[in-house]
């Protein structure tokens, strides 16, 4: 079933759709979905290069962060942490928390004007904080501290020293270290101290049991905070923008049961991936193939998996790749959201949490008859290689009802 919808909102000026695979400006650009999956699954020949992973010092941590580790260590980390984010666990353990949080935030708006991205940030921080164990500080203050990490100078992974000047490096250090110290003192250290006395069923307690140092835990919490909480805000805002701008899609969403609603969200994510680029560094020569074509990647090459383009690869997902078609047929093995959560060893385990968070909040939001007072502004962030949305201003016309509490 196809629901017509506005075309993709997250197209970035200057990004090309073709060629499908090419060596451009000193790095490989991969825009083909099947070839992109080959890169992300080349675990013996590549390592993580995105999120400035190659510039993070390795000597002062006993355990390398899960987001940027590779090999057996990464596999062991993924298996142990994955139990906190499995679909059944998320639905059983965190659904009530999401419902209470969404109701409280929406009820608190009354009929006042508010920015959805601000509300979505508080909501996603509260939910993920409970999963991680960051529950000993106030959510609004922690949200502000997490957002401050993104005040960084621009950079280009393909250029020496990220293309930054010495002054920009100094700014990056100052803008990164002070927020890190504040995050540790105000949020992470109190949580660690509490979990050492009273272990809970959360990620920080697990890391303590695994012998992680306070520095190790700090970096992991920063990873979950920036990669999990902050990016979920962008997706919730983008999904709401589509629903509020397309009456047919909104009507279909309101009438649907949860499985179909989640399919709508996955299709929005395929069309509008929050993280638009995934980077890998080749550590050994290997070959990429598509049809009768082959490309030889040399050891040391930097590879850019262009997620936005790969997710809209017409040869893989259909000629209507830029329309919103929940439940569309995708190639075998391809996630409903395409590569928006990655693929292979570094596939993000937080998809069930993020999708369910969006459903709980936006089901309730639509039931309150929101009126759009201001369209969001689209921006770009180098750290996550993705978009930001600010200023989707709404007013709620209807009071809270049980209509927002659908199965």
Q: What is the pLDDT of residue 67?
A: 62
Go through 389-404 and write b for each residue having 16 or more CB atoms within 10 A of its CB, e for each that does not: beebbbbbeeeeeeeb
Closest by alpha carbon to 134, among 190, 66, 196, 64? 190
Residue-wise pLDDT tens digits, 336-368: 999 999 998 888 888 999 999 999 999 999 999
Q: Are the CB atoms for 32 and 272 separated by under 8 Å?
A: no
123-147 average pLDDT score = 94
Residue-wise pLDDT tens digits, 303-340: 999 999 999 999 999 999 999 999 899 999 999 999 99
Q: How far is CA 100 from CA 121, 262, 361, 405, in A?
A: 15, 20, 10, 11
Residue 73, pLDDT above cutoff 50: yes
Task: Assess if residue 80 is contained within a domain.
Answer: yes
229-233 average pLDDT score = 87
Closest by alpha carbon to 133, among 63, 189, 210, 65? 189
Q: What is the pLDDT of residue 11?
A: 86
Q: Are the CB atoms for 346 and 193 separated by under 8 Å?
A: no
Task: Assess if residue 1 is contained within a domain.
Answer: no
Q: What is the pLDDT of residue 403?
A: 45
Residue 41's CATH number? 1.10.630.10
151-169 average pLDDT score = 84
Q: List phi, psi (to 5°) of 135.
A: -115, 10
The parent domain of residue 252 ranges over 21-404
Q: How many CB atoms lie within 10 A of CB 284?
A: 12
Task: Assess if residue 200 is contained within a domain.
Answer: yes
Residue-wise pLDDT tens digits, 278-308: 999 999 999 999 999 999 999 999 999 999 9
Q: What is the dihedral of CA 341, 344, 30, 379, to 10 degrees?
A: 20
Task: Assess if residue 118 is contained within a domain.
Answer: yes
Which region among 160-174, 286-300, 378-392 has the lowest average model confidence (pLDDT)? Answer: 160-174
- Report the SS3 class of residue 251: helix
Residue 69, pLDDT above cutoff 70: no
Tell me how far apart the alpha carbons of residues 332 and 96 are, in angstroms, rounded to a whole number: 34
> DSSP code of 218?
H
| Residue whose token pair is 């395409």 | 338
Domains: count for the chain: 1
Task: Assess if residue 5 is contained within a domain.
Answer: no
Angle in degrees, CA 145, 150, 156, rounded to 5: 160
Residue 62: pLDDT band with limits 50, 70, 90: low
Query: In 256-370, which residue ranges form alpha helices assigned H by DSSP?
Result: 258-271, 307-311, 314-317, 351-367
Task: Assess if residue 292 is contained within a domain.
Answer: yes
- Stated pTM of the model: 0.92
Contacting residues for 344 by C-beta, under 8 A, at least 6 apart = 37, 40, 41, 42, 43
Task: Assess if residue 297 is contained within a domain.
Answer: yes
Residue 158: pLDDT band with limits 50, 70, 90: confident
Can you read off the two tokens belonging to residue 231?
């990016």
Task: Assess if residue 16 is contained within a domain.
Answer: no
| Residue whose token pair is 């979920």 | 232
10-25 average pLDDT score = 90
């Amino acid at each position: 079933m196809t629901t017509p919808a506005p075309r993709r909102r997250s197209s970035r000026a200057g990004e090309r759709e073709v060629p499908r695979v090419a060596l451009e400006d000193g790095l490989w650009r991969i825009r083909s979905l099947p070839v992109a999956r080959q890169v992300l699954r080349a675990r013996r020949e590549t390592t993580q290069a995105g999120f400035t992973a190659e510039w993070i010092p390795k000597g002062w941590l006993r355990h390398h962060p899960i987001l940027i580790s590779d090999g057996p260590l990464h596999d062991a980390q993924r298996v142990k942490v994955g139990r906190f984010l499995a679909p059944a666990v998320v639905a059983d353990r965190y659904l009530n928390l999401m419902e209470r949080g969404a109701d409280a935030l929406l009820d608190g708006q009354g009929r006042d004007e508010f920015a959805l991205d601000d509300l979505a940030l508080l909501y996603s921080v509260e939910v993920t904080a409970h999963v991680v164990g960051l529950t000993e500080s106030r959510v609004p203050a922690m949200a502000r501290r997490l957002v401050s990490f993104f005040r960084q100078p621009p950079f280009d992974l393909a250029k020496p020293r990220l293309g930054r000047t010495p002054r920009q490096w100094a700014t990056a250090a100052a803008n990164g270290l002070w927020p890190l110290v504040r995050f540790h003192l105000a949020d992470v250290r109190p949580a660690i101290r509490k979990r050492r006395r009273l272990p809970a069923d959360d990620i920080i307690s697990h890391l303590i049991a695994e012998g992680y140092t306070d520095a190790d835990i700090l970096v992991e919490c920063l990873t979950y905070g920036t990669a999990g909480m902050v990016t979920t805000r962008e997706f919730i805002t983008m999904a709401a923008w589509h629903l509020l701008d397309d009456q047919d899609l909104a009507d279909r969403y309101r009438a649907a049961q949860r499985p179909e609603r989640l399919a709508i969200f996955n299709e929005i994510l395929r069309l509008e991936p929050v993280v638009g680029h995934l980077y890998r560094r080749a550590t050994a020569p290997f070959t990429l193939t598509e049809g009768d074509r082959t490309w030889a990647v040399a050891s040391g090459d930097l590879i850019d998996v262009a997620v936005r383009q790969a997710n809209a690869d017409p040869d893989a997902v259909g000629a209507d790749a830029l329309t919103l078609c929940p439940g569309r047929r995708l190639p075998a093995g391809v996630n409903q959201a395409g590569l928006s959560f990655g693929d292979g060893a570094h596939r993000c385990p937080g998809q069930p949490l993020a999708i369910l968070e969006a459903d709980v909040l936006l089901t309730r939001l639509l039931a309150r008859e929101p009126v759009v007072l201001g369209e969001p502004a689209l921006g770009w962030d180098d750290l996550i290689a993705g978009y930001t949305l600010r200023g989707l201003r709404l007013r709620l016309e209807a009071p809270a009802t049980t209509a927002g509490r659908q199965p």
